[in-house]
Amino acid sequence: MFADRLINAIDKTQNPSVIGLDPQPELLPPSLRNEHKDKYGDSIEAVTKAIVEFNRQILHELKDIIPAVKPQLAYYEQLGWQGIKAFEETIAAAKKEGYIVIADGKRNDIGSTSAAYANAFLGKTKLFEKEISAFDVDAITVNPYLGSDGVAPFIDVCNKQEKGIFILVKTSNPSSSEIQDLQVNNKPVYLHVAALIKKWETGKGDRGFSSIGAVVGATHPNEAREIRSILPKSIFLVPGYGAQGATANDTMPCFDKQGYGAIINSSRKILYAYKEMKNMNFASAARNAAEHMKNDLHTALKSADIFPW
Amino acid sequence: MFADRLINAIDKTQNPSVIGLDPQPELLPPSLRNEHKDKYGDSIEAVTKAIVEFNRQILHELKDIIPAVKPQLAYYEQLGWQGIKAFEETIAAAKKEGYIVIADGKRNDIGSTSAAYANAFLGKTKLFEKEISAFDVDAITVNPYLGSDGVAPFIDVCNKQEKGIFILVKTSNPSSSEIQDLQVNNKPVYLHVAALIKKWETGKGDRGFSSIGAVVGATHPNEAREIRSILPKSIFLVPGYGAQGATANDTMPCFDKQGYGAIINSSRKILYAYKEMKNMNFASAARNAAEHMKNDLHTALKSADIFPW
């Protein structure tokens, strides 16, 4: 099941990091931009080919030290169907290199429509008779605003296909408080969402974790501690480290007492590390930054006395 | 601006209806299924071509009586990049026939990522130097769970490109109460979201409405009345009529006292009307069902004494 696969991959790399694959055309390395512009002109084809090549080299370079990647749908959608084709090619490359793939789409809708999203990312779509898998990632992020019947179709597919979801609880952005921190019976909305996730859990794997995870921003360590106490068996997908300002120490409340149960995301700081490391090619720079992040998390886990390896 | 374009289109057709283009392969007419299966086999290509043909015929048949269509992204995503290509072809066909196009994606994320979604659907994406429009619809549905900084990039693009958004306030599904109805200072969460929308409004058009709209389920007429009183100048996109059980009378609180400011959605009851009308081809059956819906809304608007034409 998904939670076991993820925890095992974290053990194998001794690294609870996930790299966000958020390709922004203007941040791609100039060499790659120029090469593709010369070949294909200033076109969507050129940009999407450059993105896939960028992702492939990063994925190849980091495969022994990073357990999981998280492509962000928005950056592919902004290039239309060719962007979605690049998203599919990125997923295929990531799976071939052995990564766990978490699609960041924050999808949700009413029940029947949520079922179509669940099929798209985690399950199967029936054509005329044959079934296909559109994206076939390991997990996807899900928005909870519509309640149980919007989430249930994802959970069904998780159970059938051994996949996972991460439900938004407390997000990393500054204005997350506006709705998520509203007080309901002296408890913020995000703790009510955590209580719903507790209700939705459908069992845990051999490694002790559920495949119904939570998104909890590293920028809110106190809130993370509260959510962890309600959801001891959920894996937390943790954005906010690095470019958004949270430190490795800030992420510690997301882990359990054994140093498991959280995976910390970094996107721009890893992908575009080449900008800070002038004498290195972009993939080596990304590896360098990823190793730095791993060491940073190791140091924090050790000083929190929960280093598991 | 968007709100004016939408209200003018409603006036022209004397019809506050929007048709949801939610193509489910198993519900396509057998003739269309067989024709495409014979030509292209049991393949994604066959299904996506059948979907585009289905949409095109419906769009052509309804163009003089329906002002707007609402393709639901989930049903296209479940067919991978070829599904998104079919989504683009559907948008192009709809615009050519003169429809207002509202993408139903319920997108949202943190600020920088929301900007990429806003570019994808409403704005422009920069390639190397050139800018392109990926989907270029008139409006998109947006989820509010992340607060202001997730919504602001959409509003920026709305202002620049004369587009619109519809923010989820109170959704039509049974479990919408779980989060949306939580009581905060004796007021449900959905009214706090309505108050945020009020704050986000950036002015109104010649027809008196703002381009920052709200999604309000027809299945909750009392809640709609409350939301309307907080947001007198927002256009409500109203799901829940028809297949989900709400009647035309249930949708009346979504309109203002002049009978404007709401657009009522129906998807399955129109698209797949051929199933109930055995001697008609699918496009004529859809037209028949759409005319029935228009008459139904007219009757309700008249008996509520707010018929505007």
pLDDT for B27-56, tens place per residue?
999 999 999 999 999 999 999 999 999 999
Taking an 8 Å cut-off on Cβ atoms, the answer to whether A26 and B179 are in contact is: no
The DSSP code for B255 is S
Q: Residue B282 — pLDDT band, cuts 50, 70, 90?
A: very high
Q: Please name the residue of chain B whose CA is at the shortest distance from the CA of residue A73.
A: B117
The domain ranges of chain A are 2-300
CATH superfamily of A2-300: Aldolase class I (3.20.20.70)
What is the rounded distance in angstroms from the CA atom of residue B108 to the CA atom of residue A142?
Answer: 11
Mutation test of the interface with chain A: which of B24, B107, B128, B142, choosing the one with the most A Cβ atoms within 10 A? B128
Q: What are phi and psi of A6, to 5 degrees?
A: -70, -45
pLDDT for A77-130, tens place per residue?
999 999 999 999 999 999 999 999 999 999 999 999 999 999 999 999 999 999
Taking an 8 Å cut-off on Cβ atoms, the answer to whether A33 and B107 are in contact is: no
Shortest CA distance to B142 belongs to which of B197, B87, B94? B197
pLDDT for A215-233, tens place per residue?
999 999 999 999 999 999 9
pLDDT for B81-136, tens place per residue?
999 999 999 999 999 999 999 999 999 999 999 999 999 999 999 999 999 999 99
The per-residue pLDDT for A202 is 86
Helices (H) and strands (E) in chain A, counts: 13, 12
CA distance A43 to chain B (A): 7
Token pair of B114 as six digits: 């929301």
Please answer whether residues B107 and A74 qualify as being in contact, where contact means their C-beta atoms are separated by less than 8 angstroms. Answer: yes
Neighboring chain A residues of B145 at a CB cutoff of 8 Å:
143-145, 168, 171, 179-180
Mutation test of the interface with chain B: which of A119, A125, A183, choosing the one with the most B Cβ atoms within 10 A? A125
Residue A106 annotated among the catalytic residues of the structure = yes
Taking an 8 Å cut-off on Cβ atoms, the answer to whether B44 and A132 are in contact is: yes
Choice among A37, A49, A70, A106 that is catalytic: A106
Helix (H, G, I), strand (E, B) or coil at A212: strand
What is the rounded distance in angstroms from the CA atom of residue A293 to the CA atom of residue A210?
Answer: 26
The per-residue pLDDT for B124 is 97
Residue B243 in this model has a pLDDT that exceeds 80: no
CA distance B283 to chain A (A): 21
Residue B17 in this model has a pLDDT that exceeds 90: yes
Please answer whether residues B153 and B118 qualify as being in contact, where contact means their C-beta atoms are separated by less than 8 angstroms. Answer: yes
CA distance A119 to chain B (A): 6
Beta strands in chain B (DSSP E): 17-21, 68-71, 100-107, 125-126, 131-132, 139-142, 164-170, 183-184, 187-188, 210-216, 234-238, 262-266
What is the rounded distance in angstroms from the CA atom of residue B149 to the CA atom of residue B72?
Answer: 24
Q: Please name the residue of chain A whose CA is at the shortest distance from the CA of residue B190.
A: A179
The per-residue pLDDT for A41 is 97
Gyration radius from chain A CA atoms: 19
State the pairing for strand pair A139-142/A164-170.
parallel
Q: Mean pLDDT, chain B, as a whole number?
A: 97
Choice among B106, B163, B269, B294 that is catalytic: B106
Angle (CA) A130-A132-A138 rounded to 5° is 150
Neighboring chain B residues of A119 at a CB cutoff of 8 Å:
78
Neighboring chain A residues of B149 at a CB cutoff of 8 Å:
173-175
Q: If you average pLDDT over residues B187-195, what whole number do you get?
A: 97
Q: Mean pLDDT, chain A, as a whole number?
A: 97
pLDDT for A6-21, tens place per residue?
999 999 999 999 999 9
Q: Residue A204 — pLDDT band, cuts 50, 70, 90?
A: very high
State the pairing for strand pair B164-170/B210-216.
parallel
What is the rounded distance in angstroms from the CA atom of residue A6 to the CA atom of residue A20?
Answer: 16
Q: Residue B244 — pLDDT band, cuts 50, 70, 90?
A: confident
pLDDT for A237-282, tens place per residue?
999 998 788 999 999 999 999 999 999 999 999 999 999 998 899 9
Which of A43, A121, A146 lies at the smallest CB-CB distance from B173? Answer: A146
Shortest CA distance to B27 belongs to which of B56, B57, B47? B47
**Beta carbons within 10 angstroms of residue B253's beta carbon:** 23
